[in-house]
C-alpha cells in the first residue's frame, strides 16, 4: 500500500521530519511517498499562506498521486482538505481532521496546542467546519511558530508542556492534541508531564490514512464537472479537466 | 492483544454474529473476548431496554474485563458508553461512536440506517451528544428491529438497500452508516446498490477499538471517588468501590 | 392522589429526607409513596452510578407504581427519566427537569449549585439534553457530595451560600437552583444570603409532579413494542413485556 | 391570593372568555383581576400590534397591579413579557412561556397550533428567545385569526383538530399546545381527536401564575434605575419613576 | 431624498445631536426629517422603556413618515425595528442592525461599547435575534447611561476609550461598535486610542438608511391584514387599518 | 477613489461583464481597476477551482493593488476573502459577504439563487462561516453554471425566475440574492416576476466596497509576521514578506 504524504509547507526538512515519524507508525507493507509543496510559504502560519497551500496541496496530488492508495494531508489545519477529497480517486485524510475525531473518542472535550498564535482563529474555524465546536475545550499556542519549533524542538518542550498542562487544568480538556508537523513525536516525550492523554497529530493522521486506504471506497465523483483552466501545472490542469 | 467485546443485548446468537464478523477484521494477534449481557432485553429497541443495557454493559466489563487491552461496546447506540469510559482502565470504544467519527472523514454529511423506528430519537440524541448534529443528514429505519433482522438477514436486504439509497438521494448524505450488530457485514453486500460509501458499524467499531487499544492511554481516573453500593454483582461492586 | 417518589440512591435515609420535605409541599389529598433503589450506589456521584440508577428507577416503578397517579424521580440529574416516561402509564417528572423549567420562568439565566464536582459535566449534558444550554449561566459544586451533605447539612450551609452568591455575582445568574435530594429545604435557609431567588429542587419537582398528575394525560405508548427480557425482576420483566 | 390577568388585546369579550376559563382552573382562594388593554389592536395578529401591546400590558400592570400577588400575561406570544418581569414587584408569567415549559415536561418535542399565519415567525422568535428551538417540532396556524376564532369557536374546531393531527403525524410532535386566548378550553374538546396530549395555553398559564405567586420571590430590582418619562399614563409614569 | 430619522427617546436634544451628526454624513440631496418620541422614557435604558419606545417609534412613523423615502430608527437597540419594517412602505434601517452588519465586514468578531449596564442582556438578545451571536466578542458598558453621556460627552471619553481597548485586548474583538445616539461622532475622537477600527453607530445607520432608500424596494405587505384598534393616535390607527 | 475589482475566474469576458455593471453603480469619482485571475479555472464551480482561486485572488491583489483605496472580490462565494483581508492595507469586501449582510437588513430570512449545483454545499459553508445560517432560508441553483449563464443570459432568465419564486413561495425567503458575476444586472429584469425583493450580488458588493473604502480604516496587521516563500509571483512574495 502506498500513501501520498503531502506537506504543503515548502520546507523539505519538515517533510522529512513528518515522513520519518510517519514511517515508524505506518507498519509493514505501507510505503510513504512524500511530497513537499512546490510553491508557497516556507512555514504556513497565516491565512494567506494557508490559502496558497491549498493550491499547492492540489498541485502535489496531481503531480505525485498516481498509483497511491490513499492521501495524507500532513499539515495541521488541513489546507485544501475538502478540495483534495473532491478530486481524489482514493481516500484523503487531514492531520487535524484525524486528530480531532480521535480526540472525541478519547475524551469529552479536547484542546489543541500548536505553534504560532495566528493559528488560533484559523483552527477555531476548522473545528467549527468539522461541526465539533462543542467538543473543543480550547486552543493554546506557544509563541514560536511550527517552523521555529522544527529548528529547535528541545527548546520548545518546556513551553509545550506548560501549555498542555493549562489545557487540562484551566480549560477542562480531557485530552490534548499536539498539533503540527514540526511536533511529530513530541507527544510521547511530554506524556508524563501532562495529566491527560496527548495525541500526536502526525501519528493520528497517519493511522487514519492507512485505515481509510484499507477500506478503499471514496465518495463518487460523478457529479463533478470537468473544469477547463489556464496557468496551472500540466498535471493539475489534467486532473481538473478529466473529472 | 485482547479486546473485550460487550454485547449488552441478552441474545448469545447476536454476540456470536458480531464477534464472528469482528474476528474477520481484527487481524492477527488480536483475541476477541465476547460477553453477552446477563440481564435485560433480548434485543434493545426501546429507551427502557437501553437504560438497563447500560447497567448490563458495566456488569459485563466488571465480570470479563480482566486482562483485556481494550473494550468494544458492540451495540449501536452505545448504551453506557460514557460510564464504561469512566470506570475502565483500558480504552473503550462504542460502535456508533466509531462509526460516526469515521463517517465524518468520508463525507460532509452522513446518514444512519438501522432497524426499528424507536431508535430514531434515541440516535438523534446520541449524535447530538457527540456534538455531530450538523454532520447528520438523517436517520432512516426499516420496520424490522435489529432482532428481527438477525433472524432473517436475507429478507431485510432489499429494505435496507432502499433506505440507504433514499439517504443519498433524498437526504443528501455523502456516506451512510449501516448501524447495528445484526447488520454485521451487510454493508459489503449492499455497496453496489447504493451510490455513496457504506460503513459497516461492526467493522468501524472493531477497527477503532484495536487502534485505541494499541495507543493504550486512557483518561486518568484519579478524581473518580470509590463508590459504595448494594445489590450489584460482586465484580461490579468491586469495580466501583476500588476506584 | 398518589405520587410514587423514586429515590434511585440506595440509602433509605435520603428517601426519608426527600419524602419528608415533599410531604410538606404536596398539600392535602396527596399521598407520597416512597421507593428506594434496590441496587446501585449508596449515593450517586459518578456516571457509572447514574447508569445503574436508571435501571434501579425502572425497577422501582415496576415494583411500586401500581395505583399511583404520577411519578416523581427524586434524584437531581434524573437518571432514567426518558425511559421512565416511555414505560409509565402516568405522568413522570424529574427533579432537575422541573427545576430547570421553573428557573426559566423566574429569570433569564439560571445556575445550579450541587454537591460533588463530578456532577458538573453530567449536569451540563442534562441541561443540553433539555435544550436549555443557552439559559444556563453555570454550574458550581461544593466539595462534599450529596451523600456527605446529607450527613452534615449544617456544615455545608456556608459553602453552599458562598457558591450561590458566586453564581449571581460572577456568573450572572438571575436565579439559582439548589439541586439534590440531600439539599431538601435548604433553599429557604439560604435565601437571605443570596441576592437572587433560590429554587429548592425537591420542592420544584414535587410541585410539578402533582401538577402533571392532576392533568393526567401522558404520551400514548401504542408504538412501543413489548420487550422480551432475561434476568430482570419479575415486576420489571412484566412491565416491559406487556407494552 | 389575587392574580392580575392582563389581556393586552383591546377586546373585552376576549378578556371575559380567558378570565372565565381561568377561574375554573384557579381553585379556591384565588381571585382573578382581569384587565383589558386600554389601547392597541382589537386582536393582536401582527408585529406592530404586538409591539403596541407590550406598552398596553405595562400600562395595565401600572393601573391594576396594586395588591396583586402575581401577574398572568394572558396573550399567547407574551408581548412585553420581559419588560413586565423587570418592573413587577410580584411574579409574572406569560401564557406562551408557561405552555412551552410545560410541553417540555410532557414530551420531547412540542408543536404549537394557533390562529393567524402571521404569528408563525413571531412565535418562532419567541421560542428561540426562550432557548427552546431544539424542542420545537413546528408551528401550524389555521387561517382564521384568534379574533375570528373567538367569534365562531364551533366553526374552528375541525380546522384546529386537523392542524393538531398533522403536528403529531407529519411533524413528529409528542405534545401540542393549543395557543391563544380565543382557544381557551378547546383542548379538552379536541383531545379525543388527536393522538398526542394537547395543552390548553390558558390553563397552562393560569396554573403557572398561581404556582409562582405561591412561591412569591422575584428577581431583585435594585439595579433598575428610576426612569423619567413623558406622555404616559400617570400610573405607568409613576411605576417607571419609582424604580 | 428624504429620510425620516426616528429618535424614540423623548428628549429633543438627543434628536438634535443625532440628526446633526447624521446630516454631516448624509451627503448632498438627502434631507433628514427628525422625529422625537411623543411619549416614553427621556432616555431608554430599561426593558420597559424599550417596550414603550417600540410603540412610540410606530407612532412617529405614522405621524411623520409621509413623503419619506426611507426610515432610520436612530436608537441603538432598535426598539420596534421589525414592527416598523412590517408596516412601512419604504425601507427601514436600525442603528444597531446596520452597525452589526457593517462590523461583520470589517472583522471576524465585533464588540459593542455603550452606556448603561442594563443594556447588556438587551443587546445580547438583539444580536442573537440578528443571528450574529457567533460574531460577537462581547458587550461592555460604561457606568453613565446614554442620557448621562449626552449631558457630558467630554467626561465620558476616557471611560469609553478604556472600554474599547479592553474589547480589543481582553475579548479579542477585531472591531468595536460605539453604540448609542449620545455617542454620535465620538468614534473619530477615540480612534487613535484603540488598536482596532471603531464604528460610529450613528454614521453606520445613516449610511445604510441612505443606501437602502436608494435601492428602494421593500418586502411586500400583501399578507399583512388591516388591523382595527382603539386608543391610538389617529395617524397610527390609520396606518394599521389601511394595511 | 480607486477600487480594485478582482475576478478570480480566469475568463476576461466575465471580468468585463462585472466591471461594466459595477461602473454603472459606482458613481462619480470612483475608478474601477479590473483584474482577472492569472491562473485557475475558467469558471469556478468546484471546491478545487475555488481553492486555486483564493491563491489567484491574492496574486491579483499583489500585482494590481498598488494605489487602490479598496478591494472588491467579485466572485460569489468569495474565495480567499479572509486571506485578502489579512494582507490588504485597504478594506476588502466580498460579493457574497456584502450580499448576505444586505439581505439581512431587507428581510428576516434570505435565499440565494445561483448557477451550478455544486455551489450549494460550498455556499452553505460560506454562510455558516459568516455566522448567518439562522438567517438562510435556502439555496437553489439552476442547472447551467455561471460560465454557461454568462454565454447565454437570455436563455437563463426563465429558469432563474422560477428558482427565485420557489425561494419565496416554498422556502419562505423574504428576500432573494441573485448570486454570481455572470448574473450581473439580471435582478432588475427579474424583479417584476418575483414576489419578494431581489438583490443583485454584483451591485451589493460594489456599493459595500465603495462604502468601506470611504471609511478607510482596516484592521491593524501588526501581529501578522512576514512570511518567507518560494515559487510565488514576485509581487505576491513581496507582499507576504514585507508584512
Judge if pTM exceeds 0.80. Answer: yes
Report angle CA F132, D137, F131 to the nearest 5 degrees: 10
Cell numbers 399511583: residue: C68
From CA D167, how far away is CA D196, in angstroms rounded?
Answer: 9
pLDDT tens string A80-114: 999 999 999 999 999 999 999 999 999 999 999 99
Q: Which residue in F76, F167, F170 sits closest to F115, CA to CA?
A: F76
Given a cut of 60, whether residue A160 has pLDDT beyond it is yes
Q: At what angle do helices E201-215 and E95-106 cross, to 10 degrees?
A: 100
Q: Please, which chains are in contact with F (at least 3 CB pairs closer than 8 A)?
A: A, E
**Using an 8 Å Cβ cutoff, are C9 and C36 in contact?**
yes
CATH numbers and ranges of domains, chain E: 2-95+205-241 (3.40.50.12500), 96-201 (3.40.50.12500)
| Sheet containing strand A31-36, strands side by side | A31-36, A2-7, A70-73, A92-94
pLDDT at F11: 96
- Mean of the pLDDT values across residues B131-157? 93
Task: Supply the pLDDT for residue B145.
Answer: 87
CB-facing half-sphere around the CA of C42: CA atoms within 13 A: 15
Ordered DSSP codes for chain F: -EEEEEE-SS-HHHHHHHHHHHHHHH-TT-EEEEEE-SSEESS--SHHHHHHHHHHHHHHHHHH-TT-SEEEE-STT-TTHHHHHHH-SS-EEEHHHHHHHHHHHH-SSEEEEEE-TTHHHHHHHHHHHTT-GGGEEEEEEESS-HHHHHH-HHHHHHHHHHHHHHHHHTS--SEEEE-SGGGTTHHHHHGGGSSS-EEEHHHHHHHHHHHHHHH------TT-----EESS-HHHHHHHH--
Q: Specify the pLDDT at position D66.
A: 95
Residue to mutate among B26, B131, B173, with most A CBs inside 10 A, is B131
Asked if the C-beta of E207 comes within 8 angstroms of chain F's C-beta atoms, the answer is yes
**Shortest Cα distance from A25 to chain F (angstroms)?**
30
Residue F2 has pLDDT above 70, yes or no: yes
Contact list in A for residue F231 (CB cut-off 8 A) is 10, 38-40
- In eight-state DSSP terms, residue A164 is H
pLDDT, chain F, mean: 94
What average pLDDT score do residues D43-58 get? 97
Task: Let me know: does E82 contact D47? Beta carbons within 8 Å.
Answer: yes
Residues 5-44 of chain E with CB under 8 A from chain D are 10, 38-43
Q: What is the pLDDT of residues F13-32, one digit of tens each?
A: 999 999 999 999 988 899 99
What was the pLDDT predicted at D145?
87
pLDDT of amino acid C214? 87
Can you read off the three cell numbers belonging to residue E167?
Answer: 474589547
Distance CA B132, CA A219 (A): 20
Q: Annotate C112-176 with three-state secondary structure.
A: EEEECCCHHHHHHHHHHHCCCHHHEEEEEEECCCHHHHHHCHHHHHHHHHHHHHHHHHCCCCCEE
Three-state secondary-structure class, residue A28: coil
Tens digit of pLDDT for each residue in D209-235?
A: 999 998 876 655 556 789 999 999 999
**What pairs with residue B2 in β-bridges?**
B31
Give dist(CA F141, CA F151) in Å, integer: 17
**Of D182, B40, B208, residue with least CA distance to B200:** B208
- Percent of residues, chain A, with pLDDT higher than 90: 89
What integer is the mean pLDDT of B145-149?
Answer: 88
| Shortest alpha-carbon distance between residue B129 and chain A (Å) | 9
- Measuring CA to CA, which residue among A82, A73, A69, A61 is closest to residue A235? A61
pLDDT at E218: 63
Q: How far apart are CA A194 and CA B216, in angstroms?
A: 16
pLDDT at E184: 95
Using a CB-CB distance cutoff of 8 angstroms, which residues of chain E are in contact with residue D227? 41-43, 45-46, 48-49
CB–CB contacts below 8 A, E to F: 70
At A200, the pLDDT band (50, 70, 90 cuts) reads: very high
Pair F44, F216: CB distance under 8 Å? no
Tens of each residue's pLDDT in chain C, 243 residues? 999 999 999 999 999 999 999 999 998 899 999 999 999 999 999 999 999 999 999 999 999 999 999 999 999 999 999 999 999 999 999 999 999 999 999 999 999 999 988 999 999 999 999 999 999 999 999 999 888 898 999 999 999 999 999 999 999 999 999 999 999 999 999 999 999 999 999 999 999 999 999 887 665 555 678 999 999 999 999 999 975
Structural element, H or E, at residue E112: strand E110-115
Q: Tell whether C148 lies on the interface with B, counting CB pairs under 8 A.
A: no
C-beta separation of D93 from D208 below 8 A: yes
The answer to whether C97 contacts chain D (CB < 8 Å) is: yes
Closest CA to A95 of A117, A71, A119: A71
Task: Provide the CA D36 distance to its chain's centre, in angstroms.
Answer: 13
What stretches of D12-152 show up as alpha helix (H) in DSSP?
Answer: 12-26, 47-64, 81-87, 95-106, 119-129, 146-151
Other beta carbons within 10 Å of E117: 16
Q: Decide: B157 and B190 in contact? Cβ < 8 Å.
A: yes
Task: Measure the CA–CA gap between B9 and B77, rounded to whole angstroms.
Answer: 12
- Which segments of chain E have a pLDDT < 50? none
| CA closest to C176 among chain D residues | D219
ipTM > 0.85 for the complex: yes
Grid cell listed for D190 = 379536541
F208 touches chain E (CB under 8 A): yes
Residue pair E111/E167 in contact (Cβ under 8 Å)? The answer is: yes
Using a CB–CB cutoff of 8 Å, tell me whether E232 touches chain D: yes
pLDDT in tens, D177-202: 999 999 999 999 999 999 999 999 99
Closest CB to E219: pick one of F101, F107, F135.
Answer: F107
Q: What is the DSSP string of B159-182?
A: HHHHHHHHHHHTS--SEEEE-SGG
pLDDT value of residue D220 = 55
Cβ-count burial of C38 within 10 angstroms (0-12 exposed, 13-18 middle, 19+ buried)?
middle
F195 touches chain E (CB under 8 A): yes
Q: F54 at the A interface (CB within 8 A)?
A: yes
Q: Strand E229-230 and strand D40-41: pairing?
A: antiparallel
| Contact flag D105-C98 (C-beta cutoff 8 Å) | yes
Q: Is D101 on the interface with C (CB under 8 A)?
A: yes
Query: From CA E119, how far away is CA E121, in angstroms rounded?
Result: 6
Chosen from D82, D84, D131 to mutate, greatest number of chain C CBs within 10 A: D131
CA distance, residue F70 to nearest chain A CA (Å):
18
Res D217: pLDDT: 65
Closest CA to A207 of A107, A99, A100, A108: A99
Under 8 Å between Cβ of D220 and C195: yes
| Spatial distance between the Cα atoms of F51 and F98, rounded to a whole number of angstroms | 20
Tell me the mean pLDDT in the region A230-240: 96
- Tell me if there are at least 3 CB pairs under 8 Å linking chains A and F: yes
- pLDDT band with cut points at 50, 70 and 90 for residue F220: low
Residue B178 confidence (pLDDT)? 97
Q: Which chains touch E (3 or more CB pairs under 8 A)?
A: D, F
Residue E32: strand pairing partners: E3
Which residue(s) pair with F72 in the sheet?
Answer: F5, F93
- What is the spatial distance between Cα B189 and Cα B88, in angstroms, rounded to a whole number? 35
Radius of gyration of chain E, Cα coordinates, nearest whole angstrom:
17
CB F190 within 8 A of CB F167: no
Nearest-angstrom CA–CA distance, C10 and C37: 5
* Model pLDDT, residue F217: 65
Which of A89, A85, A115 shows the shortest CA–CA distance to A97? A85
Lowest mean pLDDT among B148-162, D211-225, F158-172, F222-236: D211-225
Q: Cβ distance A6 to A58 under 8 Å?
A: no
Binned at pLDDT 50, 70 and 90, residue D237 comes out as very high
Nearest to D131 among C132, C196, C217 (CB): C132
Residue A141: which residues within 8 A CB-CB, separation 6 or more?
A113, A114, A115, A116, A117, A119, A120, A163
| Cα A209 to the center of its chain, rounded Å | 11
Check whether A219 has a pLDDT greater than 60. no
Residue A243: pLDDT over 60: no
Nearest to D197 among C132, C174, C218 (CB): C218
Amino acid at each position: 500500500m502506498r500513501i501520498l504524504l503531502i506537506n504543503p509547507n515548502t520546507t523539505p526538512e519538515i517533510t522529512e521530519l513528518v515522513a520519518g515519524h510517519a514511517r515508524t507508525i505506518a507498519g509493514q507493507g505501507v510505503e510513504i511517498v512524500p511530497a513537499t509543496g512546490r510553491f508557497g510559504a516556507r512555514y504556513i502560519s497565516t491565512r494567506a499562506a494557508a490559502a496558497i497551500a491549498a493550491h499547492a496541496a492540489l498541485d502535489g496530488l496531481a503531480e505525485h498521486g498516481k498509483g497511491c492508495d490513499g492521501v495524507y494531508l500532513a499539515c495541521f489545519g488541513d489546507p485544501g482538505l475538502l478540495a483534495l477529497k473532491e478530486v481524489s480517486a482514493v481516500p484523503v485524510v487531514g492531520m487535524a481532521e484525524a486528530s480531532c475525531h480521535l480526540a472525541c473518542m478519547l475524551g469529552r472535550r479536547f484542546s489543541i496546542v500548536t505553534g504560532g498564535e495566528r493559528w488560533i482563529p484559523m483552527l477555531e474555524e476548522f473545528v467549527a467546519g468539522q461541526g465539533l465546536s462543542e467538543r473543543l475545550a480550547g486552543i493554546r499556542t506557544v509563541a514560536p511558530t511550527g517552523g521555529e519549533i522544527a529548528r529547535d524542538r528541545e527548546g520548545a518542550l518546556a513551553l509545550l508542556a506548560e501549555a498542555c498542562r493549562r489545557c487540562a487544568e484551566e480549560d477542562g480538556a480531557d485530552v490534548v492534541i499536539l498539533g503540527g508537523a514540526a511536533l511529530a513525536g513530541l507527544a510521547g516525550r511530554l506524556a508524563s508531564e501532562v495529566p491527560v492523554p496527548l495525541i500526536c497529530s502526525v501519528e493520528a493522521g497517519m493511522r487514519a490514512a492507512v485505515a481509510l486506504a484499507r477500506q478503499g471506497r471514496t465518495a463518487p465523483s460523478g457529479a463533478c464537472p470537468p473544469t477547463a483552466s489556464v496557468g496551472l501545472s500540466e498535471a493539475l490542469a489534467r486532473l481538473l479537466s478529466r473529472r
